[in-house]
Amino acid sequence: MNSGKSVELLKIAHNYEEQGKRVMVLTSALDNRSGLGVVSSRIGIGRPATPVPQGDSILRIVNATLSTTTYVDGHAIWPECILVDEAQFLTAQQVTDLATIVDSQDVPVICFGLKIDFQGKLFEGSKALFEMADKLEEIKTVCQWCGHKATMNLRTCEGKPVYDGDQVQIGDQEYMAACRYHYLNPQI
């Protein structure tokens, strides 16, 4: 939380496009805080993206998108990069779809998302990415109380910490980045 994942995705998309390269941006259809199919950052920048419903095939979505693009010699022009926001909400099969694209089309896929939920458990998409990704990079943030590295996502409700409930609850202000100590001992 609050590490700049979406800003980094938007920066990478901008850099590719500034060089005249095509980018496909995907995001989970579960996250509609800024509207369906929108990647946005807390600092106020955003862009449209293709929403990915949880049970849908990313291969189907990408192929459907490519079918509306320019063709050269009868073949759709693939993007030079695929960027995925909120990748923790992907299913294991959707991560496999992304790996298939990397392996069969030689297109880099860069995913951004949380590692763990508010209970310290891996999301399905995160687990699959840890198992299949060629490379993992952590974007760090700090605990809002002590400034140490934040490794946990504290969910709150009416100012009180919440440790039980559904894994997925889309929100923003009710989540706080915390170190392990302050996750268990929040100063709220």
**174: phi then psi, degrees, rounded to nearest 5:** -85, 5
Identified catalytic residue from 18, 80, 86, 158: 86
Q: Where are the beta strands (DSSP E) in 38-79?
A: 38-40, 46-48, 50-52, 71-72, 75-76
Cα–Cα distance for residue pair 69/129, rounded to 1 Å: 28
CA atoms within 13 A on the CB side of 130: 12
Higher pLDDT, 167 or 160: 160
Cα–Cα distance for residue pair 188/184, rounded to 1 Å: 11
For residue 172, pLDDT beyond 60: no
Does the active-site annotation cover 86?
yes
pTM (2 d.p.)? 0.87
Q: Show me where the domains of the chain are located.
A: 5-132, 140-188
Q: Report, as an integer, the average pLDDT of 150-178.
A: 84
Nearest to 28 by CA among 121, 123, 120, 105: 123
What's the CATH fold of domain 5-132? Answer: Rossmann fold (3.40.50)
Cα–Cα distances in angstroms (integers) from residue 7 to residues 41, 88, 131, in the given order: 6, 17, 25
* Confidence grade of residue 69 (pLDDT, cut at 50, 70, 90): low
- 140-188 belongs to CATH 3.30.60.20: yes
